[in-house]
Structure 1
Amino acid sequence: MNSLYIDGRWLSPAGRELMPVINPATEEVIGSIVDADDRDVAAAFAAARRALPEWSARPVGERAAYLDALAGALRDNGERLAVLAASEIGMPLAESRGVQVALPEAVLRSTAQAARDLDWEYRDISESTVLREPVGVVLGITPWNFPVHQLVAKLAPALAAGCTIVLKPAELTPLNALFLAELCDQVGLPAGVVNLVTGRGSTTGEKLVQSRAYDLVSFTGSLAVGRHIGAVAGDRVVRATLELGGKSPAVVMDDADLEAAVRTTVRNCFTNAGQKCNAPTRLIVPETDRSRAMGIATAAAAEYRLGDPLDPGTTMGPMASDMQRDKVLRYVDGARERGATVAGGRRADRPTGFFVEPAVITDVDEADPVVQEEIFGPVLVILGHQGEADAIRIANDTPYGLSAELWSADPAQTARLVRGIRAGQVRVNGVRSPHPPVAPFGGYKASGLGRELGAFGLEEYLEVKAVLGTFEGEAG
């Protein structure tokens, strides 16, 4: 498909460059998209601005009902979407069903409920009336690693808040975004409430960011691009929510079950072939257990079966692109050349596809790039600590603070670790994201600004107005 979805219509504008979409497992072209230009960008923002007054005036319950309807449409078309997402990104189909279909459906439903539960208008102790109102037109720019979930994590709270939105998906994985736009059209969302334009980040994305037509920008992606977007928004004094990645630790204490902790960390690190912002890529174990942990992790990594994402036996797919594959290999080869012990981490011997063997690395300096920088591939680094204080120090010793995992049988020690680790989420003893998905997601330090999911995610898209004096409002 090479269309844009603007003002409730599918457009196939002439004279725009067409960009191929590649299946990273087969290297075959599976579609094409338009590299949108200034005219398309202006049309999308104009449509969103026109739709804003009517959409924001609708009762909260009515907006929430649209999210529930979209969740139902996503569920009904779930298998088609899971296969499409697996083909675009290379994620094994079983994973795709969970994070590209089931999770976005749950986010839509939980966001609808959060909107129903929110106190949109209330009196404070000064007898002033406090109102929550939509921030306005939103620009949402999403990454390629969990494309459907990331789109919905922006779309759902924006619409629930009464905002309208212009979405720009990553150029590597745009077809699932077009599929989602079809579902928005199918459930009857009013024209202009949701608009979608495609293209490169350096062209279409930059045109969108430089536009003066939005009231909030929500971006998920790299730190470098996030800094640029934050600077543009800051210069305009426009709100920006930025989720910029991580280098998350998994801290294991000496009273934990080392086998369970290491194997769980490997599994969580290598989800989606490690292309995951909150993957626990630094395993921090007692120094006396480091050699044993390396053996457990290496054995667990060797169990992965690389192959066709649509094959039920496949447990790890390819990197999303040849550039991403080459980036991962440069990091691993560099660590190997600097004297690290590396198991795996070589280009997989397959006839097609951007495959990399999972890598486990140890005997590496804490300042090494593989320890400090987000690689976004199946690479786990094992470090040794000398006790609780040292474990906290190492856990906090990167520019990021998105997520952390910890393993301890001592409740008091667990509490100290939770409070000592500077991260937006801390997962204790193997607990994953609970349902409904309303726990706030976002990070400290260079991991970004703002939160997604649940009530905290909804608040990002709202302004707060205080009315001093007599006012007879109507909530919702």
Structure 2
Amino acid sequence: MRQYPHLYIDGRWTEPLEPREAELIDPTREEVFARVALGSAADADRAVAAARKAFETFSVSSAADRIALIDRIIDVYESHADEFSELIAREVGIPVGNRAQVTGPAQHMRVARDILRDYPFETRMGSAVVRREPIGVCALISPWNWPIQTGVIKLIYGLAAGCTLVAKPSLNSAASGALMAQVLHEAEVPPGVFNLVNGTGREVGDALSRHRDVDMISFTGSTAAGKLVGAAAAGTVKRVCLELGGKSANIVLPDADLERAARWNIQRCFFNAGQSCHAPSRMLVHESQVEQVVPFLVDEVRRFRLGDPLDSATTMGPVVSAAQFKSIGDLVQSGLDDGAHLVTGGTERPEGLDRGYFVRPTVFTGVTPDMRIAREEVFGPVLAVLPYRDEDDALRIANDSPYGLGGYVFGDDPAKARRVVNGLRAGRVSYNGAATDSYAPMGGYKESGIGRSMGRFGFEEYLEVKSVYGFENEARA
């Protein structure tokens, strides 16, 4: 049994004020594998006070010093890469073969460092000097589905900007959160600059959202939870950056390579057992071509190997929890009840996997836009295939959603595809499966969020803007 009995506050591992703990369940074995300290609102107060004190000096540290700090963090983080890989397999079921979950965070660290190297903190606008300054104490609430990367993106841009931080990881991934705090400790992040308080969203998350000494809150999670964060933060008019749910559409134009589009859609949608907010969980296919794509979809589904995430040959592990397992099953059943056609998968456990929260990779055709599986975020390996009549109909269906996080378009004619890309109301759109870029911003339209993370846009979320007059000759590049 692994034990994580401490919070990390003011550069020290410390016990919570009230001795409480939470159990972490291994989703493969359905058994407790670790216990973590459970903090409270009072512990959040301690962490915020430490961050507020540290801000006085860290906010005026030089860019060169912060670059050196990030370089140390990168070195220490990479020395723990295998430990992170094994840990997230145990706590949230991510296969050890999914190295992107572990290598990606280091890449984001390097991007933040590179942006900091050349960033103009003072510029001239007319007769004014415009300064960008660190916003202050930032509360960072991160999810379990990208347990390392999401938290790293938040903290590394905050550090690069000169902010001080209080992090609250998801309780499902609190063990890897503790290991990340250890990385920062070993990298000699100054006391109080980074603090870690485990706890529930209802208690610690709410306390941080409402706290008068927190200047910004960055939250990634469900839209329902994000609305609560935004409402709580409104009382102190702090900056709120939210990355929330998605129901992304992949529009496959009639001139697309259907096999390529279908196979890519399955791999991208079912990556991480479908637990990705950008998953293309709606595939829009011209009504005359639906039957042509089905064999490719089924064949690609059968290539997944479900099993123990600690086995390097496994390509799909379990979903994170019993609650998630039930939620996905309920939505698959709703597809059957609403009359969608089940092509593969279903509600039964995968063959040979009688223990663990394993879900059959599932594909529906005959889906209409009003069905729950076409409207709600399943957050599991479930794909809804919807037919469309023409380009305008495809855009109408794709945009008829409260979400607007991601979008995808496949087609052979770049000019036509670009019109469709421009018509999608989403924050990040990819053509023909093009890879994303860590320098570009990520975020959503509509109920998928507020603000942006990653790249220069993400860096600037952690900066305030000050206009200064009377120093016309002193603006620095």
Question: TM-score, normalised to structure 1's length?
Answer: 0.96
What is the match of residue 40 of structure 1? 43
Post-superposition offset of 1:298:
2.0
Post-superposition offset of 1:116:
1.5
What is the match of residue 274 of structure 1? 274
What is the match of residue 12 of structure 1? 15
1:418 pairs with 2:418: no
Post-superposition offset of 1:109:
0.8
What is the match of residue 250 of structure 1? 250
Q: Distance in 1 between matches of 2:405 and 2:188?
A: 36
What is the match of residue 308 of structure 2? 308
Post-superposition offset of 1:473:
6.0
Please show how residues 367-446 of structure 1 align to structure 2 within 5 Å: 367-434=370-437, 437-446=438-447
What is the match of residue 470 of structure 2? 469
Please show how residues 271-350 of structure 1 align to structure 2 within 5 Å: 271-342=271-342, 343-346=344-347, 347-349=349-351, 350=353
1:353 pairs with 2:356: yes
Q: Distance in 2 between matches of 1:164 and 1:475?
A: 25
What is the match of residue 143 of structure 1? 143
Please show how residues 11-90 of structure 1 align to structure 2 within 5 Å: 11-13=14-16, 15-90=18-93
Q: Distance in 2 between matches of 1:67 and 1:89?
A: 27
What is the match of residue 120 of structure 1? 121
Where structure 2 has 5 or more consecutive residues not aligned to the other structure, the ranges are: none
Post-superposition offset of 1:68:
1.9
Post-superposition offset of 1:411:
1.5
Greater shift, 376-385 or 81-90, is seen at 81-90
Q: Deviations over 1:8-60 (max 9, x none)?
A: 00012364221111111112222111221232111100000000011011011
SS at match of 1:131: strand
Post-superposition offset of 1:474:
8.4
Letter in 1 for 2:313: G
SS at match of 1:463: strand
Give the paired residue count. 471
Contact 2:366 2:387 in 1 (8 A): no
Contact 1:35 1:204 in 2 (8 A): no
Contact 1:407 1:430 in 2 (8 A): yes
Q: Distance in 1 between matches of 2:19 and 2:335?
A: 43
Query: What is the RMSD of the two structures over their aligned residues, measured on CA atoms?
Result: 1.4
Q: Deviations over 1:229-253 (max 9, x none)?
A: 1122223211100001200011111
What is the match of residue 217 of structure 1? 217
Q: Deviations over 1:339-379 (max 9, x none)?
A: 11112032334232111101101112211111011110000
Letter in 1 for 2:233: A
Q: Deviations over 1:43-88 (max 9, x none)?
A: 1000000000110110112112211221121112111111111211
What is the match of residue 239 of structure 1? 239
Question: TM-score, normalised to structure 2's length?
Answer: 0.96
Letter in 2 for 1:445: K
SS at match of 2:442: coil
- Distance verdict in 2 for CA 1:404–1:131, change over 3 Å: same
